[in-house]
Structure formats: structure tokens, C-alpha cells
Amino acid sequence: MEIVLSGIRPTGNLHLGNYYGAVTSFVKLQEAYKCFFFIADWHSLTTHPTPENIQNSARTILSEYLACGLDPEKSTIYVQSDVPEVIELYLYLNMNAYLGELERVTSFKEKARKQPDNVNAGLLTYPTLMAADILIHRSHKVPVGKDQEQNMEMARKFARRFNMMYNTDLFPEPQNFSLAGQGGIKIPGLDGSGKMGKSEGNCIYLCDEPSVIRKKVMKAVTDAGPQAMNSEKPEVIQNLFTLLDVVSTKDTYDYFNEKWNDCTLRYGDLKKQLAEDIIKATDPIRERIKEYAGNTDLLQSIAKAGAEKARESAAATLKEVRKTIGFKVY
Ligand code: TYM
């Protein structure tokens, strides 16, 4: 059976980008595949969070995963740092990962520019750790948003390289996989930037109260309005339509699209509708987040059971890897 795996860094709450770019796919895929979904807390160390920060954030994402519909009976849900086998594979992969190719990764270059005082080796080898996450379960399909394309290319490269070096077919080449369309989707920010993201500070979170969502949407950047019939939408306006396409009905989308095309669109009306549709789409999740977040015992037992299942699968791969590399297996 094909293996599906994906993860999210616990550096805050889940936002609409995480949800529509990744988690909605997780929820559907768990019905048909053997799935592993984890919380990438090692990855979050690149920005040096405090111990309290790490602990709280992992708990937060776990309750949000569950609130979105991830089911521990169907999927293996675990915290990355509970599975030490991943680090051993990370070490092996790092031995065949080269400075030049790691330095060329766009997200490394961006991070290095943003945090010039903290260009650490973990940041450089982020793609190797991500590859280890994926390859440790010999995953075939990885549901991620469009922004992860380059990391996925690296994971495939490391899998191929290992297989070639040792003349084995141990690792399948993991494929990006999105139910939202070829190559995944990108949820835009409301500040006119291309992408909704935690570090961009432009997110609508699943746990945001309706009043907060309304305020954020009403503040979305727009322009002077449509100037010519049937004209192409500038990026800031296209962003609003992309969100509308995701959360609203087709009729609503078509209604506002027509208004754009005949130059009668009032952005205030569109934003009001968009805010209400986001609230409607996230309402049940918001309620469930509160329920799960308060149930520490349940969260702990789910994380513990998930870690056991994940370690079993990881240990089986690692045994093969060690044998392949030439280490004695007792
Ligand atoms: P992270 O935590 O930045 O994001 C988690 C998931 O959410 C998707 N996503 C988006 N999708 C569409 N539009 C957006 N605006 C948007 N913002 C975020 C991301 O594509 C991702 O699928 N490196 C990963 C975490 C990771 C991982 C892995 C993923 C670590 N190891 C192994 C898959 C497999 C990351 O930082 O995602």
C-alpha cells in the first residue's frame, strides 16, 4: 500500500494556507492510504524558540490537527522529536548532501537574508532533515502546498542518490501530492503579498474569532477598482478572488467575477462576503480546537501512541539503511 506522509512546523497556529494547502488533503487521504502526519518541531529550532514555546506549539498543532479531522485511528499522528530514528537517517543523508546544492535552495537564501546573524547549519540542512522525515517511512506521496516544491525536489534527489550509491531501490522517489490540483495550491496573503505565511505576519488563523477575521479581511489591500470591462485582475485583487474560490460557493464567485468584469464591483461588498464565508468554513473547527486544547491527557495519549507506531515503521527502514551502508546489524 502506498505511504502518505506530511508535516507542519509548530511555529504558531494553523492558518488558512496550512489548512487549504495541506491539511484538507491529509483529512481526505487518511481514508485511502497508510498515512503519517507529524509535527515538525525539530525544524522549528532554526529560529531558536524557547522551551515553553516548543512545548506549547506542538500541543497547539496537535489539537488543531485533530480539530481539522485527522483521526488517530486512521493515521499515525506524531511529534517529530519523539522519533529519534529520523536523526540517524538525517546524518546519513547529510554525508551525501553538498554545500553548493544546499546553499542554492531559495528558502535558505531567503532565511539567510532575513536572519543574517543566525545562518546556522540547521537552516542549511533543512532540506536533508525534511528528506529524512519523508524517507524514514519510505513515503510515496507527500501532500504539501506549492511553496514546498524545491524541498521536495531535494528529497527526491537524496533518495535517488542513496539508491544509486548503494545500488538499491530502498527509497521510492516521493511525489508532491495535492488534492487541490497539480503541484499544490498557494493561498495568498491579504496584504498584497504572494503567500499567506507565519513569518509574513499576514495570516488568518483557524482559531481566529469571527470579529478578528472580519477585521483582517476588511483591511485587505485593494486598488482603485476595475478600470475597463473584462480586464485582467491585478495581483492584490486576484488574491481576494483566489480566497473566494476556496471558501465560497461557485455562485458567489461567479457573482463577484461578473461584477468585476462589468466594472460594478465594490470591494467592500466582496470583502464582507469573503469574511462571512471564511467564518462559516472555519466555525466548526474553531469550536473543536477549544475542546481538544483543553484535554491534555487525550493529547498526550494520542502523541504517545503515534510515536510508538511511527518508531516501529522508522526502525524497520533504519535497519535496512544500516545494512545497506555496511553497518553490522545485530
Ligand atoms: P510549513 O509548516 O511552512 O507549512 C505546512 C504546510 O502548509 C503549506 N502552506 C501553504 N500552502 C498553500 N498556501 C500557503 N500560503 C501555505 N503556507 C503553508 C505548506 O506547503 C506545507 O505543506 N518544511 C515544511 C514542514 C515539513 C514537512 C516535512 C512537510 C518538515 N518535514 C516532510 C512535508 C514532509 C514546512 O515548513 O511547512
Task: Determine the pLDDT at residue 91.
Answer: 98
- Find the mean pLDDT for residues 25-36: 96
In short, whether 202's Cβ falls inside 6 Å of ligand 1 is no
The residues near 90 (Cβ < 8 Å, ≥ 6 apart) are 125, 128, 129, 132
In short, whether 203's Cβ falls inside 6 Å of ligand 1 is no
Which of 198, 233, 259, 309 is the catalytic position?
198
Mutate to test the pocket of ligand 1, among 147, 149, 245, 247 (most ligand atoms within 8 A of CB): 147
| pLDDT per position as a tens digit, 104-161 | 999 999 999 999 999 999 999 999 999 999 999 999 999 998 889 999 999 999 999 9
Q: Is 259 among the catalytic positions? A: no
In short, whether 185's Cβ falls inside 6 Å of ligand 1 is yes
Statement: residue 294 has pLDDT above 70: yes
- Find the mean pLDDT for residues 292-315: 97
Which of 28, 34, 74, 111 is the catalytic position?
111
In short, whether 144's Cβ falls inside 6 Å of ligand 1 is yes
Which of 74, 157, 195, 309 is the catalytic position?
195
Q: Is 323 among the catalytic positions? A: no
Is 96 in a helix, a strand, or coil? coil
Which DSSP symbol is given to 45? G
- Find the mean pLDDT for residues 163-186: 89
Task: Determine the pLDDT at residue 78.
Answer: 98
Statement: residue 183 has pLDDT above 70: no
User: From ligand 1's centre to the CA of 161, what distance in Å?
Assistant: 24
Task: Determine the pLDDT at residue 201.
Answer: 81
Confidence of residue 194 (pLDDT cuts 50, 70, 90): confident
DSSP 214-260: HHHHHT----S---STTPPPPHHHHHHHHHHHHHS-HHHHHHHHHHH
- Find the mean pLDDT for residues 208-237: 94
Q: Is 195 among the catalytic positions? A: yes
Statement: residue 211 has pLDDT above 70: yes
In short, whether 197's Cβ falls inside 6 Å of ligand 1 is yes
The answer to whether 292 touches 298, Cβ cutoff 8 Å, is yes
Nearest protein CA to atom 31 of ligand 1, as residue:
130
- The C-alpha cell 487549504 sits at 20
Nearest protein CA to atom 37 of ligand 1, as residue:
8
In short, whether 147's Cβ falls inside 6 Å of ligand 1 is yes
In short, whether 43's Cβ falls inside 6 Å of ligand 1 is yes
> What radius of gyration, in Å, describes the C-alpha atoms of the chain?
21
- Cα 224 from Cα 247, distance rounded (Å): 25
Statement: residue 316 has pLDDT above 80: yes
| pLDDT per position as a tens digit, 232-279 | 999 999 999 999 999 999 999 999 999 999 999 999 999 999 999 999
Confidence of residue 212 (pLDDT cuts 50, 70, 90): very high
Other beta carbons within 10 Å of 325 = 12
Confidence of residue 198 (pLDDT cuts 50, 70, 90): confident
User: From ligand 1's centre to the CA of 270, what distance in Å?
Assistant: 28
Instruction: For the chain, give the percent of residues with pLDDT over 90.
Output: 88
- Find the mean pLDDT for residues 36-51: 94
In short, whether 213's Cβ falls inside 6 Å of ligand 1 is no
| pLDDT per position as a tens digit, 59-105 | 999 999 999 999 999 999 999 999 999 999 999 999 999 999 999 99
Instruction: For the chain, give the percent of residues with pLDDT over 70.
Output: 98
User: From ligand 1's centre to the CA of 328, what distance in Å?
Assistant: 36
Q: How many CA atoms, within 13 angstroms, populate the side-chain half-sphere of residue 212?
A: 11
